[in-house]
Amino acid sequence: MIQSPWWRGAIIYQVYPRSFQDANGDGVGDLPGLLMRLPYIAGLGVDAIWISPFFKSPMHDFGYDIADYRAVDPLFGTLEDFDRVLARAHELGLKVMIDQVLSHTSIEHDWFKESRESRDNAKADWYVWADPREDGTPPNNWLSIFGGVAWQWEPRRRQYYLHNFLASQPDLNFHNPEVQQAARDNVQFWLDRGVDGLRLDAINFCFHDAQLRDNPPKPAALRVGRGFTPDNPYAFQFHHYNNTQPENLRFLEHLRALMDRYPGAVSLGEISAEDSLATTAEYTRPGRLHMGYSFELLGDECSARHIRDTVEQLQAQMTDGWPCWSLSNHDVQRVVTRWGGRAPSPELAIQLLILVCCLRGSVCIYQGEELGLPEAEIPFEAIRDPYGIAFWPDFKGRDGCRTPMPWDEDGGGFSDAEAWLPIAATHAALSVARQQHEGSVLQRFRTFLRWRSEQPALCGGTIRFLDAPDPVLAFERGAEAQRLLVAFNLSDTPQRFAFPLSAITEIVYESAPATQDAGAIVLPPRGAWIARY
């Protein structure tokens, strides 16, 4: 039997290091803190960790504005601390993936400091510079995801520079081959150090339209998507020209060729495009990214029909690639609040964990998701996220999903000092210490992952959805001689699911007991149910 790559069907645990564990008492999580907690992560039964940025940065966007791709920011520790994390993770059987933010840098990066000084220096063409229009306005109508125009005036050059995110995050000019090579060199630095994979942030934003054409307007009825508030003008355009350009495919192929020199190394691309599913399929074709994920399951829509349509649409287009699914991360409201309201139940939390781990693909689990943590309420005066500050109160930003992990009985244990974000009072009862008992979300998740790891149908098999009335989501997973029937009741009331019960040979998992009635399975509220047949 051919051995599948480790990452196919893997469960990847995302660590947001600022909020995981503080070891030096400054109120901010760090790499030595992560080192302390690696046994906890390994004990979950996951296959890998993905560590959000820990590189040198002024922290305007909390690490996604990088000033030195090869240096650890002192806030998080040292390069030697990272080496210790890497070595210990490997001892525990965990693969290590790190973020790489290739499309833009910080304004504090040496490349940008040189580039902005003049139009004829060695780095002059390393960023996206453009002359103003005759009236002094920006060269086109492109907008920033974080609000307002995507161009910032630089008086030294008397030109505008492009920033798809914050003004302190200037976009690199990937049309310049030197920039592409520099990006690959930085990636190689970490591959040489022994990392097992890369999560590529906003990877479809590397190239822009060289002609700087205006984006067309988007009708009001279509202004939906990732975290957009009704008054965020970013949603008012079709973003045909400021990202997702055809030249990016060739760059991905060169990047893949580099990664193929490191056996087992994997690339996971974050993709947010006008048609993210189609772009994900295109970006994961042979010779490009190993895996991709988009934001379709990170939004507010939680119906069985939406989940089925999303997976089926991607499956139809991704004939050769491999998907990765997630329901929560550091950029979106926590899923139990997003899909369950202000008082989500533990049954919802465990159901959603099992659901995402039963889809065909790999899975990213965000820290605290295994505890069933809801979104934290952050008062305006404590908000640190520039996105939330700009769009308060309609959109409160991303701080509510970034609060520190609750470790101890009282929800503390993260730091001996005041934490950089307040620890939510609602998280204390859900702390790691309080969930060391049978029946908790944490313990049930651990048990499920141990069982899942032995099921070839769930780790790498096929998927076929079955007709079921919303709110029931049902599908078949199959591999080799194993065939599993998987069903979820996504509502708070019992639901019937008609299925030939005589075909079922064994019920292998129930989040709560189901019953049978007149040839149908009656799934309990928020029930998860798996059977062999």
Domains of the chain, CATH where assigned = 11-102+177-208+243-452 (3.20.20.80), 462-532 (2.60.40.1180)
Nearest to 209 by CA among 248, 161, 237: 248
Write out the E strands in 217-303: 266-270, 291-293
Mean pLDDT of the chain, nearest integer: 96
Q: Give the percent of the chain with pLDDT over 90.
A: 92
Going by C-beta distance under 8 Å and a sequence separation of 6 or more, which residues neighbour residue 378?
388, 396, 397, 399, 400, 403, 421, 422
Q: Are 232 and 220 in contact (CB under 8 A)?
A: no
Average pLDDT, integer, range 460-470: 95
Main-chain dihedrals φ then ψ at residue 446, nearest 5 degrees:
-55, -45
Nearest to 324 by CA among 5, 93, 8: 8
Q: Is 412 exposed, middle or buried (CB count within 10 Å of its CB: 0-12, 13-18, 19+)?
A: middle
Confidence of residue 1 (pLDDT cuts 50, 70, 90): very low
Cα–Cα distance, 375 to 336 (Å, whole number): 8
Confidence of residue 420 (pLDDT cuts 50, 70, 90): very high
pLDDT of residue 499: 85
Nearest to 403 by CA among 387, 383, 429: 383
pTM above the 0.95 mark? yes
Write out the E strands in 271-410: 291-293, 322-326, 362-366
Average pLDDT, integer, range 263-271: 98
Query: Which tens digits make up the pLDDT trace of 56-72?
Result: 999 999 999 999 999 99
Query: Which tens digits make up the pLDDT trace of 206-260?
Result: 999 999 999 999 998 888 755 455 578 999 999 999 999 999 999 999 999 999 9
> Is 377 designated active site?
no
Q: Are 515 and 522 in contact (CB under 8 A)?
A: yes
Query: Which tens digits make up the pLDDT trace of 97-109?
Result: 999 999 999 999 9
Q: Are 271 and 284 in contact (CB under 8 A)?
A: no
pLDDT of residue 516: 87
Q: Give the percent of the chain with pLDDT over 70.
A: 98
Share in percent of the chain as helix, strand, coil (round to 5): 30, 20, 50
DSSP H stretches of helix in 92-146: 110-115
Query: Which tens digits make up the pLDDT trace of 16-59?
Result: 999 999 999 999 999 999 999 999 999 999 999 999 999 999 99
Token duo for residue 408: 């101890």
Whether the per-residue pLDDT at 168 is higher than 90: the answer is yes
> Is 270 designated active site?
yes
pLDDT of residue 252: 98
Token duo for residue 340: 């369950």
Write out the E strands in 262-411: 266-270, 291-293, 322-326, 362-366
Query: Which tens digits make up the pLDDT trace of 423-457?
Result: 999 999 999 999 999 999 999 999 999 999 999 99
Annotated catalytic residue, options 65, 201, 331, 347: 201
Query: Which tens digits make up the pLDDT trace of 328-370?
Result: 999 999 999 999 998 999 999 999 999 999 999 999 999 999 9
Confidence of residue 502 (pLDDT cuts 50, 70, 90): confident
Amino acid identity, residue 86?
A: L
Cα–Cα distance, 65 to 57 (Å, whole number): 6
Q: Among 59-63, 92-96, 328-332, 499-503, whose mean pLDDT is lowest?
A: 499-503
Whether the per-residue pLDDT at 318 is higher than 60: the answer is yes
DSSP H stretches of helix in 12-137: 31-44, 79-91, 110-115
Annotated catalytic residue, options 270, 347, 375, 399: 270
Whether the per-residue pLDDT at 321 is higher than 90: the answer is yes
CA 461 from centre of chain: 23
